[in-house]
Amino acid sequence: MDFLLHPATWLLALDWGIRIVALAWIPVRSAPAAARSWLLLVGFLPLLGLPLYLAFGHPWLSRERRERQANASRVIAERQQPLARLRWTPHDDSIADDIARLCERTGDFMPMGGNAIALEDDYAASLQALLADIAAARFEVHLLYYLMFDDAVGDAVADALAEAARRGVHCRLLLDDVGAKRGLRAYAPRLRAAGVDVRAMLAGGLAWRRSARMDLRNHRKLAVIDRRIGHTGSQNLAAPGFVPGFPNREVVARVQGPVVAQLGAIFASDWYIETGEVLAVPEQPPDAAGTSPAQLLPSGPAYPFANARNAVVALAQRARRRLVVATPYFVPDDATLDALEIAALSGIEVQLILSRSNNQRLTRWAQDSYLDALLEAGVKVALHRPRFLHAKHLSVDDEIALVGSINLDIRSFALNAELGLLCYDPAVVAQLRRIEAHCLADAEHLDAAAWRQRPHWRRSVSGIARLADSFL
């Protein structure tokens, strides 16, 4: 019986005990795809896999944050009831009718007409538009961004906010604590000294234990100036080359009209969730500034449904002629992959625009593994060059455009707080079509037969990387 006292016996028992507990516990707490990935890791490396699962395996949010999101959603619904006259009503049984109802039920906001929406894919031009709007602000500037770097763009934005605060403008800056770590360290002290209210979202380091799983991030990008002008899209507060060798290409929407109130509500909600402070929100949205119907779609782990994923799948399912999707990171779940394949097999022109360069190597390897089935189904795949295509946008026929911060990956769908702007206007879709055309004009278009001939070692690396899809 001496073997029972041997350390190797106890280690073996612990090893198999972890595997058995994981098999009983993980599938109950995780989606099937994520559970498979975690069980594979724990099965091979139990002593490493278990602590990693405890830290990263479940999109945990504190009860306080979930309750605050539920309170914010309730207030948004109540505030919209008296504004029924501003609701835009699409034609019955149209694509827009289906999508607008889905997004309102899951993301809280109704579609509103009377907006002016300008899409910009020139990095410098979109930045200058934001700086000009801050410089012209009279009473309020609210900025919420995932990333802010201590570079020329960060300097320009910080200077603009400090100057606005000195003019008496009430400025608030809400930044993700991890994504904007460098910006917070460089600018927060002097901005606070100038009168700007600077807060960090989802504290990193050991402080994460009080609020959420440590890798849950707020990935939104938005600005609201004087409650009448809004900016949202994929562009952060950083120079385009903040990742060396990967200068970014982005798309930003500058918005005027009633939907700006929805952007303001998102900022107020995130401010409340982070600080507990309730900001004053006007009873009436801005007056009509154009003719475009639009609707915001927020998503994230605090919501009961996968808002972004469900909207993308629904858009792909309802396309009738053409579907174009641009994303820098393509690690889809099964529902999204199936929707794209089925659309192409149904005879719809499906164009996927990815970036030829990528600043996340493991994600790029995993991404490659999905392209075989898509190309086989008839999906057209283009790799944009020479810049890093960081823009995230989607268009359906000539009816709907979606721009924002949502990547087509499991992280955006399940872990990050994201934001999308849905535009139900052929004129806005035409703007996005021109941007898509520019991306496609400077791209490598994949050939299915040639793609299948890539080296076996690349296929193997991609297949192995895909096993980590739930971690990316």
Single out the catalytic residue among 142, 384, 392, 393: 392
Backbone angles phi, psi at 287, to 5 degrees: -65, 165
pLDDT bracket for residue 65 (50, 70, 90): confident
Single out the catalytic residue among 142, 181, 219, 231: 219
SS (H, E, C) the chain: CHHHHCHHHHHHHHHHHHHHHHHHHHHHHCCHHHHHHHHHHHHHCHHHHHHHHHHHCCCCECHHHHHHHHHHHHHHHHHHHHHHHHECCCCCCCHHHHHHHHHHHHHCCCCEEEEEEEEECCHHHHHHHHHHHHHCCCCEEEEEECCECCCHHHHHHHHHHHHHHHCCCEEEEEEECCCCHHHHHHHHHHHHHHCCEEEEECCCHHHHHHCECCCCCECCEEEEECCCEEEEECCCECCCCCCCCCCEECCEEEEECCHHHHHHHHHHHHHHHHHCCCCCCCCCCCCCCCCEEEEEEEECCCCCCCHHHHHHHHHHHHCCCEEEEECCCEECCHHHHHHHHHHHHCCCEEEEEEECCCCCHHHHHHHHHHHHHHHHHCCEEEEECCCEECCCEEEECCCEEEEECCCEEHHHHHCCEEEEEEECCHHHHHHHHHHHHHHHHCEEECCHHHHHCCCHHHHHHHHHHHCCCCCC
- Residue 381 and residue 318 share a domain: yes
Instruction: With a cut of 80, say whether residue 209 has pLDDT above it.
Output: no
Instruction: With a cut of 80, say whether residue 468 has pLDDT above it.
Output: no
Is residue 162 within 8 Å of 196, Cβ to Cβ?
yes
Domain end among 244, 259, 294: 294
Is-catalytic flag, 181?
A: no
CA–CA gap between residue 338 and residue 329 (Å, rounded): 17
How many angstroms separate the Cα of 77 from the Cα of each of 180, 308, 311, 456?
31, 19, 19, 53
The answer to whether residue 299 sits within a structural domain is no
pLDDT bracket for residue 340 (50, 70, 90): very high
pLDDT bracket for residue 280 (50, 70, 90): confident
- Residue 136 and residue 190 share a domain: yes
The answer to whether residue 472 sits within a structural domain is no
pLDDT for the residue 464:
76
Give mean pLDDT, residues 226-231: 98
Is-catalytic flag, 221?
A: yes
- Residue 351 and residue 257 share a domain: no
Instruction: With a cut of 60, say whether residue 3 has pLDDT above it.
Output: no
Is-catalytic flag, 456?
A: no
Is-catalytic flag, 397?
A: yes
Give mean pLDDT, residues 374-388: 94
Single out the catalytic residue among 226, 338, 372, 398: 226
The answer to whether residue 351 sits within a structural domain is yes
pLDDT digits (tens, 9 = 90+) for 181-204: 999 999 999 999 999 999 999 886
pLDDT for the residue 423:
98
pLDDT for the residue 5:
54
The answer to whether residue 301 sits within a structural domain is no
Total-model pTM: 0.91
- Residue 91 and residue 237 share a domain: yes
Is-catalytic flag, 392?
A: yes
Single out the catalytic residue among 176, 397, 409, 469: 397
Give mean pLDDT, residues 112-128: 97
Give mean pLDDT, residues 430-451: 95
Give mean pLDDT, residues 217-233: 97
The answer to whether residue 240 sits within a structural domain is yes
- Residue 116 and residue 39 share a domain: no
Greater confidence (110 vs 18) lies with: 110
- Residue 208 and residue 172 share a domain: yes
The answer to whether residue 24 sits within a structural domain is yes
Is-catalytic flag, 219?
A: yes
Single out the catalytic residue among 181, 231, 384, 390: 390
Domain limits for position 188: 63-294
pLDDT bracket for residue 19 (50, 70, 90): confident
Give mean pLDDT, residues 438-465: 87
pLDDT bracket for residue 10 (50, 70, 90): low
The answer to whether residue 302 sits within a structural domain is no
- Residue 233 and residue 113 share a domain: yes
- Residue 450 and residue 320 share a domain: yes
Single out the catalytic residue among 121, 142, 181, 221: 221
Domain end among 246, 261, 294: 294
**CATH code (residue 208):** 3.30.870.10
Give mean pLDDT, residues 54-78: 81
Instruction: With a cut of 90, say whether residue 298 has pLDDT above it.
Output: yes
- Residue 20 and residue 138 share a domain: no
Q: Into how many domains does the chain fold?
A: 3
Task: Return the minimum-mean-pLDDT range out of 16-30, 108-122, 301-315, 346-360.
Answer: 16-30
- Residue 368 and residue 341 share a domain: yes
pLDDT bracket for residue 212 (50, 70, 90): low
pLDDT bracket for residue 56 (50, 70, 90): low
The answer to whether residue 471 sits within a structural domain is no
pLDDT for the residue 314:
98
Domain end among 273, 294, 315: 294
pLDDT for the residue 205:
54
- Residue 290 and residue 314 share a domain: no
pLDDT for the residue 213:
65
**What mean pLDDT value characterizes the chain?**
89
pLDDT bracket for residue 228 (50, 70, 90): very high
pLDDT for the residue 461:
75
pLDDT for the residue 153:
97
- Residue 358 and residue 286 share a domain: no
pLDDT for the residue 432:
98
